[in-house]
């Protein structure tokens, strides 16, 4: 039986954010979503390979099945 | 049947040597597989040192690896490419110019997820071990299907089916299902066309990694003129009773729910075909063209032309299959349907409903939507066109197997992609075989009697026993025998392979 195992967010700050959302107006909520998006993009910016163009160009495969 | 049947998957991984774009991929793939083979074979080598009377055994480390080759892969043997069977019953080897992991035989969709995800961890460990060899540049592995420069490599599914089912019926009912299932199973791709060069502003992203590489409806090929329905017929089981349906058009998925629904829904549709339950013709006009058109429209609004005159989106066509499957399960099992069959139906429906409303609602479940959402966020923030190298990099790096670099892993780690299994369950499956197929016998024998196993394949384990001149072959032709229920206790109490073989052949 498949059990849902959604991994918990790492910081307790996120939980607080979730509770607050219900009481905020739409504009504030949008601001929070924007901040959330910024946070994940910042995190991914840090791990993206440097020099995207060269990296993508040098990924050359032979065909398989 | 239900979602349950004997099945398994095979994934060829993309490979590159960091800083060396011209490195030979066969050599790099062999390094990866051999590094894993050597590190897991340490115990056996230590024991060989105690048994000096048998010089042949020294050579067997990689001979054995080669002998486990699937008979169709004898060309690999000519190259001397690495090839090992793992204690979880899987096969790890070099196929063409890619390292490949073939999962052990399992019987449920969730077990497909478990042993396929275990394969990702095997590949991760293998690449790390290869990097420890002095003078070796880091080797990077990607669970994807294309380099976006014209080359594609596969993530295949295998389903054991009744031989008595007419192949024409399989083709008729499975083709429309395959044309449309990518809205659930796609892994997402930046780039249109086989070489990915068509990146006109509004159509730079497509749903599937593989769809642009399919050129015919039915055929035997897997590397050229790829067919939507592959006709390879090599059951690795009694050919009078079974055929193995070899599915080659699927994407390599990282999201657990994508894998789970891919094999769960396909297995259900096959069950309906076997039982002659599909009473209508859902054939699509121009299947090959339609496959691409569906993939090229991530808004999922594209209308397919059915032979019966209707015009449906791919999601609506999937809903036709879902409705049939619901009726089928109700008709055959009623309230006795097993948990996973019920769960697959519920998730399938939920995903299709959301895709119909707004595909972005599936960003926590499905690979292609998770990837598209991330790409869209980058496009919005940095004002990037689809031909921007950064977007191509995100597409590629989504599939990086390393937990710190792979973007799928970063998203899942941050709770942005739902999972079905925890890490410990997956890690255990790197070593433990499934308990309910012959993979159990194969895996346990390799774990407990490594010294005495000369070779193994899907349908046999071959022992080299002291005092016997010829090798002793134990056939495992029935995929549902050799399970823990059949042989678990026997292996537990057999201290040696001699004792085991004596007990089996008595």
Q: Are B240 and B278 in contact (CB under 8 A)?
A: no
| pLDDT at B80 (0 to 100) | 56
E strand residue ranges, B337-465? 453-457, 460-463
Specify if B407 maps to a domain: yes
Residue A62 Cα, gap to closest chain B Cα (Å) = 6
Specify if B433 maps to a domain: no
Name the pairing type of β-strands B189-190 and B205-206: antiparallel
Other beta carbons less than 10 A from residue B4's beta carbon: 19
Q: B95 an active-site residue?
A: yes
Domain identity same for B335 and B303: yes
Q: Which residues does B111 contact at the CB level (< 8 Å), separation at least 6?
A: B434
Bridge partners of B400, per DSSP, are B142
Q: Let me know how long chain A is.
A: 65
Which residue in the set B14, B147, B260 is minimally distant from A2, CB to CB?
A: B260
Spacing of C-alpha B8 from chain mean position:
7
Specify if B297 maps to a domain: yes
Q: Are B191 and B149 in contact (CB under 8 A)?
A: no
Domain identity same for B355 and B255: yes
A2 in contact with B, Cβ within 8 Å: yes
Domain identity same for B305 and B406: yes
| pLDDT at A23 (0 to 100) | 53
Q: Are B483 and B434 in contact (CB under 8 A)?
A: no
Q: Hey, what's the torsion of the CAs at B378, B383, B387, B388, to 10 degrees?
A: -70
Domain stop point among B403, B428, B453:
B428
Q: Order of strands, edge to edge, in the sheet holding B7-12?
A: B83-85, B91-95, B98-102, B7-12, B155-162, B242-247
Domain identity same for B349 and B478: no
Tokens of B284: 């699509």
| pLDDT at A36 (0 to 100) | 83
Bridge partners of B453, per DSSP, are B463
How many Å apart are CA B8 and CA B312, to the nearest integer?
31
Q: Which residues does B136 contact at the CB level (< 8 Å), separation at least 6?
A: B31, B130
What are the CA-CA distances from residue B30 to residues A47, B399, B421, B467, B482 (Å)? 28, 21, 30, 34, 31
* C-beta atoms of B152 and A63 within 8 A: yes
How many Å apart are CA B157 and CA B154, to the nearest integer?
10
Domain count, chain B: 2
Domain identity same for B236 and B276: yes
Which residue in the set A2, A5, A41 is minimally distant from B377, CB to CB?
A: A41
CATH number of the domain at B194, please.
3.30.590
Domain identity same for B27 and B167: yes
Q: Order of strands, edge to edge, in the sheet holding B472-475?
A: B453-457, B460-463, B472-475
Specify if B424 maps to a domain: yes
A7 in contact with B, Cβ within 8 Å: yes
Q: Hey, what's the torsion of the CAs at B238, B239, B241, B247, to 10 degrees?
A: 110
Domain identity same for B477 and B342: no
pLDDT tens string for chain B (506 positions)? 799 999 999 999 999 999 898 899 999 999 999 999 888 764 442 222 222 222 232 222 223 333 333 333 334 343 456 888 999 999 999 988 999 999 999 999 999 999 999 999 999 999 999 999 888 899 999 999 999 999 999 999 999 999 999 999 999 999 999 999 999 999 999 999 999 877 666 679 999 999 999 999 998 888 888 999 999 888 999 999 999 999 999 999 999 999 999 999 999 999 999 999 999 999 999 999 999 999 999 999 999 999 999 999 999 999 999 999 999 999 999 999 999 999 999 999 999 999 999 999 999 999 999 999 999 999 999 999 999 999 999 999 999 999 999 999 999 999 999 999 999 999 999 999 999 999 999 999 999 999 899 889 999 999 999 888 888 999 999 999 999 999 999 999 999 999 999 999 87
Domain identity same for B126 and B156: yes
Spacing of C-alpha B328 from chain mean position:
27
| pLDDT at A13 (0 to 100) | 43
Q: Are B412 and B419 in contact (CB under 8 A)?
A: yes
- DSSP letter at B23 equals S
Domain identity same for B459 and B400: no
* C-beta atoms of B340 and A62 within 8 A: no
Q: Which residues does B92 contact at the CB level (< 8 Å), separation at least 6?
A: B33, B36, B37, B83, B84, B85, B86, B99, B100, B101, B102, B122, B126
* B382 membership: H or E segment, kind and range: helix B367-382
Tokens of B254: 């990282």
| pLDDT at B199 (0 to 100) | 61
Specify if B1 maps to a domain: no
Does residue A29 register a pLDDT over 90?
Answer: no
Closest CA to B241 of B165, B158, B332: B165
Domain identity same for B424 and B443: no
Owning domain of residue B486: 439-505
Tokens of B265: 């829904």
Phi, psi of B275 (to 5 degrees): -90, 5
Closest CA to B155 of B200, B222, B83: B222
Q: Which residues does B379 contact at the CB level (< 8 Å), separation at least 6?
A: B391
| pLDDT at B258 (0 to 100) | 98
* B10 membership: H or E segment, kind and range: strand B7-12
How many Å apart are CA B174 and CA B320, to the nearest integer?
13
What are the CA-CA distances from residue A63 to residues B194, B224, B256, B468 (Å)? 11, 9, 26, 44
Contacts of B414 in chain A (CB under 8 A): 7, 9-10, 40, 43
Residue A23 Cα, gap to closest chain B Cα (Å) = 23
Q: How many CA atoms lie within 13 Å of B155's alpha carbon, on the beta-carbon side?
A: 27
How many Å apart are CA B304 and CA B80, to the nearest integer?
47
Which residue in the set A43, A48, A63 is minimally distant from B393, CB to CB?
A: A48
Residue A48 Cα, gap to closest chain B Cα (Å) = 7
Domain identity same for B448 and B404: no
Q: Which residues does B118 contact at the CB level (< 8 Å), separation at least 6?
A: B88, B90, B103, B426, B427, B429, B430
Q: Are B140 and B124 in contact (CB under 8 A)?
A: no
Domain stop point among B380, B399, B428:
B428
Phi, psi of B36 (to 5 degrees): -70, -40
Catalytic residue among B95, B212, B388, B464: B95
Domain identity same for B53 and B165: yes
Specify if B11 maps to a domain: yes
Residues 17-56 of A with CB under 8 A from B: 37-38, 40-41, 43-44, 47-49, 52-53, 55-56
Closest CA to A1 of B329, B114, B366, B183: B114
Q: DSSP per residue over B161-174, as a string?
A: EETTS-HHHHHHHH
Domain stop point among B397, B428, B459:
B428
Q: Are B373 and B380 in contact (CB under 8 A)?
A: no
Does residue A9 register a pLDDT over 70?
Answer: no
């Amino acid at each position: 039986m498949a059990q849902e195992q959604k991994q918990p967010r790492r910081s307790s700050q996120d939980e607080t954010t979730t509770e607050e959302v219900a009481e905020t107006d739409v504009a504030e909520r949008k601001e929070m979503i924007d901040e959330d998006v910024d946070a994940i993009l910042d995190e991914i910016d840090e791990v993206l390979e440097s020099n995207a163009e060269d990296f993508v160009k040098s990924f050359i495969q032979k065909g398989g099945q | 049947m239900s979602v349950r049947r004997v099945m398994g998957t095979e994934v060829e991984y993309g490979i590159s040597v960091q800083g060396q774009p011209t490195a030979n991929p066969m050599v790099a793939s062999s390094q990866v597989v051999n590094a894993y083979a050597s590190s897991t074979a340490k115990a056996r080598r230590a024991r060989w040192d105690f048994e000096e009377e048998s010089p042949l055994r020294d050579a067997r480390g990689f001979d054995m690896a080669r002998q486990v080759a699937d008979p169709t892969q004898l060309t690999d043997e000519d190259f001397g490419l690495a090839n090992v069977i793992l204690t979880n019953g899987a096969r790890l080897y070099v196929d063409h110019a890619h390292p490949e992991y073939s999962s052990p035989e399992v019987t449920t969709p969730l077990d497909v997820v478990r042993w396929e995800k275990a394969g990702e961890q095997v590949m991760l460990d293998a690449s790390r071990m290869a990097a420890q060899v002095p003078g070796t540049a880091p080797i990077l592995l990607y669970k994807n299907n294309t380099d976006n420069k014209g080359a594609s490599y596969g993530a295949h599914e295998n389903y054991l089916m009744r031989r008595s089912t007419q192949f024409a019926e399989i083709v008729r009912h499975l083709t429309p299902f395959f044309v449309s299932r990518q809205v659930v199973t796609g892994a997402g791709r930046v780039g249109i066309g086989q070489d990915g060069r068509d990146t006109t502003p509004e159509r730079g992203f497509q749903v599937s990694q593989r769809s642009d590489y399919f050129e015919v409806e039915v055929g035997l090929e897997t590397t050229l003129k790829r067919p939507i329905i592959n006709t390879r017929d090599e059951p690795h089981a009694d050919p009078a009773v079974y055929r193995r349906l070899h599915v080659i058009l699927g994407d390599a998925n990282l999201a657990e729910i994508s894998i789970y629904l891919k094999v769960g829904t396909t297995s259900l549709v096959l069950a309906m075909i076997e039982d002659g339950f599909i009473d209508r013709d859902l054939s699509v006009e121009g299947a090959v063209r339609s496959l691409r058109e569906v993939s090229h429209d991530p808004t999922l609004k594209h209308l397919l032309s059915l032979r019966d005159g209707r015009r449906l989106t791919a999601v609506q066509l999937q809903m036709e299959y879902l409705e049939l499957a619901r009726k089928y399960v109700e008709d055959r099992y009623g309230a006795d349907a097993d948990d996973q069959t019920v769960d697959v139906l519920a998730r399938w429906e939920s995903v299709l409903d959301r895709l119909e409303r707004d595909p972005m609602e599936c960003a926590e479940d499905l690979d292609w939507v998770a990837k598209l959402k991330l790409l869209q966020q980058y496009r919005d923030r940095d004002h990037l066109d689809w031909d921007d190298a950064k977007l191509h990099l995100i597409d590629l790096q989504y599939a990086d197997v390393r937990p710190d670099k792979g973007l799928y892993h970063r998203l899942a780690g941050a709770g942005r992609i739902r999972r079905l299994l925890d890490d410990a369950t997956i890690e255990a499956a790197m070593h433990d075989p499934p308990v309910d197929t012959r993979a159990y016998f194969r895996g346990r024998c390799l774990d407990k009697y490594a010294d005495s196993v000369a070779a193994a394949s899907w349908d046999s384990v071959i022992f080299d026993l002291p005092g016997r001149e010829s090798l002793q072959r134990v056939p495992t032709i029935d995929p549902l025998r050799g399970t823990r229920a059949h042989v678990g206790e026997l292996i537990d109490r057999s201290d040696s392979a001699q004792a085991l073989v004596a007990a089996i052949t008595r």
